[in-house]
Each structure stands twice: as structure tokens, then as C-alpha cells.
Amino acid sequence: MEKNILIVNYNTPELTKAAIRSVWKHTDDAKITVFDNSDERPLGAIDGVNVIDNTKGQVIDFRELIVSFPNREKSKNDYGSAKHCHTVDYCLDLFENGFVLLDSDVLVKRDLSDLFDESVCWAGEPHTTTKHSVKIPRLYPFCCFINTRMCRENGVRYFDTGHMWQLSDSDKGKWYDTGAWFLEASRHLPHRKIRYANYVEHYGGGSFLNNKKVSVKDWLKKYSVYYE
């Protein structure tokens, strides 16, 4: 199986470039695709990387998408995780033989080759997060193998329009667009769980511009051994 890596870039070019370098350092035969959703800080062209430019909604028009969900909880740019999840769902059709999904704000610590396993659908860690006092399931997307063929055969998608509604205490399933649908839909498929922390170092989410704990520059310097 080809070692296809998908990274979704969303205004994080410094982190995405370091992530790419760390992939190649530890998995030198990986083929990397970056789906660039940036509306402020695009990634641009990189030698050896397939960059899909969606900076102006050329591929997926998210403004049109979000209008379809009037009851959805609003986020800063009215996209939030829906932008990420819908992108991954779109990319299911780009990789015939599966791919490993990485977020832009991670650095790879080790060879990812053993994640490419045709017998499994995904490898990752589910967890529960609290949003406005509502506990919701979520799938860490930082190190997740998606067996495209297996998903297609079983009708499993990453994004589901039925779980795109505003959260409240009265929500029966307490679903939100965080990959939880993929976690739920793939439960009946063969899978194995890994600790993503064993494979990647995570910066702390797409809101990196608001991260007060450590700057991007300091974080990249601290973990430079993973990509230099």
C-alpha cells in the first residue's frame, strides 16, 4: 500500500511545513498531500508535495455549506471543525487505497509505516470533550489511518450532515462535527487503537494564534529534533 499522508492546512504554514519535514525525516517514502483551506495564511507551493488549493473555495465552498445548517453553533469564521471534517470526507475520494490523516500542528516522532494496515479502518484515540457543558464524543485526528476502500464498501464517511446541529443539554446524541460520526460509523469495522502521543507531538489545536501557553516559534524550537 502506498504511504499517503493527508495534512489539512488552515492558516498554519509554519506548523504545516515543519510537519511535512518531520514526516519525511521519519517516513521517507511517504507521499504527502496538503489540502489548503487557509483564508488568511496560505501554504503555497512546496517541492514534492501535492498542494490542493482551496484558499478561495475553489474546491469546497464552505460558505455555501454552512448556510445549509442554520441551527449550527457559530464559530469565529462560521466554519470550525465542519471545515476540517468535510475536507477529510472529500479526500476519501482522492485516495483509493487509504491514507493517514495528520493535523497541521503536529510533528511526527517516528516512522508511520506500521499504521498503513489494510486490515484496519482507523488507528487513533477517541476521547470525550466538553463544549458548553455538554459532553460529546470526539476522535483525535492527529494520527489516524483511514482505509478508504473499507470505508467505501461499508458506506462509512467522515462527515455526516445529520450531526451538524447546535449543541444543547437537550440534544439526544450530543453530536458535533468533530469526527465523532466517523468514530461511531466505523465501530463495526476491523480496527486497532494506538496512542497518538507515541507517534506525534501535538501543539494544541487550530487556534494556535490564541495559544498563550507557548508560542509557535518556541514550540518548534523545543521539538526541532523531530524535523531538522
Per-residue pLDDT of the chain (228 residues; tens, 9 = 90+): 899 999 999 888 999 999 999 999 999 999 999 999 998 899 999 999 999 999 999 999 988 887 887 766 666 555 567 788 889 999 999 999 999 999 898 999 999 999 999 999 988 888 887 776 777 777 877 889 999 999 999 999 998 877 766 665 556 666 666 788 888 889 899 988 888 889 999 887 555 555 667 888 889 999 999 999
Query: CATH code at 206?
Result: 3.90.550
CA–CA separation, 108 and 106 (whole Å): 7
Separation in Å, CA 195 to CA 54, 97, 124, 143, 144: 31, 23, 7, 9, 10
- At 193, which amino acid appears? K
Q: Is 225:21 a contact under the CB 8 Å cutoff?
A: no
Domain count, the chain: 1
Q: b/e per residue, 146-184, with b = 16+ CB within 10 A?
A: bbbebbeeeebbbbbeebbbebeeeeeebbbbbbbbbbb
Distance of CA 95 to the CA centre of its chain: 15
Distance of CA 106 to the CA centre of its chain: 10
Q: Is 156:209 a contact under the CB 8 Å cutoff?
A: no
CA–CA separation, 98 and 210 (whole Å): 33
Nearest Cα residue to 87 out of 116, 120, 57, 107:
57
Locus of grid cell 453553533: 73
Give the pLDDT score at 176: 66
CA–CA separation, 122 and 159 (whole Å): 15
CA–CA separation, 182 and 176 (whole Å): 11
Bin 199: left if φ > 0, else alpha if -120 < ψ < 50, else beta. alpha
Q: Is 157:91 a contact under the CB 8 Å cutoff?
A: no
What residues make up the domain containing 121?
A: 4-226
Locus of grid cell 479526500: 91
Q: Which residues pair with 139 in a beta bridge?
A: 126
Locus of grid cell 450531526: 163
